[in-house]
Amino acid sequence: MRKFKIAVLPGDGIGPEIVKQAVKVMEAAAEKFGFGLELNYGLIGGAAIDETGVPFPEETKELILSSDAVLLGAVGGPKWDNLPFEIRPERALLGMRKLLNAFANLRPARLYDELIDASTLKPEVVRGVDIMVIRELTSGIYFGIPKGIFVDGDERVGINTLRYYEHEVERIAKVAFEVARKRNKKVTSVDKANVLEATVLWREVVERVHENYPDVELQHMYVDNAAMQIIRWPKQFDVIVTTNMFGDILSDACAMLTGSLGMLPSASIGGKIGLYEPIHGSAPDIAGQNIANPIATINSAGMMFTYSFDMPEVEEAIDKAVRAVLAKGYRTRDIYSEGTKLVSTEEMGDLIAEELKNL
């Protein structure tokens, strides 16, 4: 029997609540598909600061490096917002992505037909939306140097640097074209090449990589226009590939096409060990109330089986179970609409796990 060793990092805010539901579903999948799970829990973010004084303890680093994959909830919250920058919870996330060389962040935004009424956009605009946002995750303005707050004369200056090496663009572009080949064969590369040199280079390299993928259509789009087009007519997009920060912003926008930020899963790949987490944060405004939507996290666990374990049938089954539960009318608060049945985080997790067992 195959056995998967998974580092489970619940983190902060709603993190523990939603991760618990994803674990239920993974356990149901293990039973159904006949594989073993070794789940090892670790501290990260604010939870780690409270216990150990740092957001990304050595013990957690060792844990993830000795695992087959990582499942993460979310980190951060007002409690830790005033800490020195270098030990804020969010630093742990960046450190982990870098440590795992998880440079390609796949954020699929797919609207389930059942949730058409949950979107704030018109049904004809969102029906059938299926976009894969591919966000570069270990470089760009998040990591470029110089960075920091410096004294310059009699005032301070804050600096971050948008920086991309050719090899960094090349590898993310390859991922985008490969993914597009298995989808609708269209890549939109989003940049700001009319203003930012780093993205002039980005565009050049994407074009060069495209020469090896003549079967895939490539278009370039400026990020401001892309933000507008995503809301205007999202069905024009198949794969969107973009820089770290643009991808962060545009993927939250894409989430709303699917009804809620609580619907969008992600896979961060590129290294030996994949990282799976919802795209949303720790949602301090609803933490501890058992009302958060666990589907983004459940579907992130689903992605783990495709991208880390080459078992797409498990992701498909989890997806099917989610859809079946939505088809029966069950909704967490964020995707609730009149005539549907409001359930808690726990209930949603139970329903999906149960559905999966009975598929």
How many other CB atoms sit within 10 Å of the CB of residue 324?
17
DSSP letters for 135-171: EE-SSGGGTEEEEEEEEETTEEEEEEE----HHHHHH
Residue nearest to Mn ion (CB): 248
Output the CA angle 270-240-315, nearest 5 degrees: 55
Q: What count of Cα atoms within 13 Å lies in the side-chain half-sphere of residue 218?
A: 23
Bridge partners of residue 72, in order along the sequence: 9
Taking contact as CB under 6 A, which single stretch among the options 68-76, 107-115, 137-145, 202-210 is the one that binds ligand NAD?
68-76
For 275, the token pair is 């990282």
78 annotated to a ligand binding site:
yes
DSSP letters for 11-25: ESTTHHHHHHHHHHH
User: Which residue's CB is nearer to ligand NAD, number 93 or number 106?
Assistant: 93
Contact between 248 and ligand IPM by CB under 6 A: the answer reads yes
CA distance 33 to 138: 34
**Pick from 106, 187, 240, 279: which binds ligand IPM (CB under 6 A)?**
279
Contact between 267 and ligand IPM by CB under 6 A: the answer reads no
Torsion of the alpha carbons at 181, 183, 188 and 191, rounded to the nearest 10: -80
User: Which residue's CB is nearer to ligand NAD, number 136 or number 334?
Assistant: 334
Q: What count of Cα atoms within 13 Å lies in the side-chain half-sphere of residue 143?
A: 19
**Pick from 292, 318, 325, 353: which binds ligand NAD (CB under 6 A)?**
292
Please give the size of the binding site for ligand NAD, defined by CB under 6 A: 22
Contact between 347 and ligand NAD by CB under 6 A: the answer reads no
Contact between 86 and ligand NAD by CB under 6 A: the answer reads no
Contact between 293 and ligand NAD by CB under 6 A: the answer reads yes
**39: partner contacted, choices Mn ion, ligand NAD, ligand IPM, none (Cβ within 5-8 A by kind):** none
For 169, the token pair is 């663009």
**Pick from 16, 39, 41, 90: which binds ligand IPM (CB under 6 A)?**
90
215 annotated to a ligand binding site:
no
What distance lies between CA 187 and its chain's CA centroid? Answer: 19
The answer to whether residues 14 and 282 touch, using CB atoms and an 8 Å cutoff, is: yes
Q: Tell me which residues in 150-209 interact with ligand IPM (CB under 6 A).
A: none
Taking contact as CB under 6 A, which single stretch among the options 26-34, 64-72, 88-96, 148-156 is the one that binds ligand IPM?
88-96
x-marked contacts with ligand NAD along 2-41 as a string, rule CB under 6 A:
------------x---x-----------------------
- Catalytic residue set: 142, 192, 224, 248, 252
Note the residues at the interface with ligand NAD (CB under 6 A): 14, 18, 74-77, 90, 93, 261-262, 277, 280-286, 292-293, 296, 334
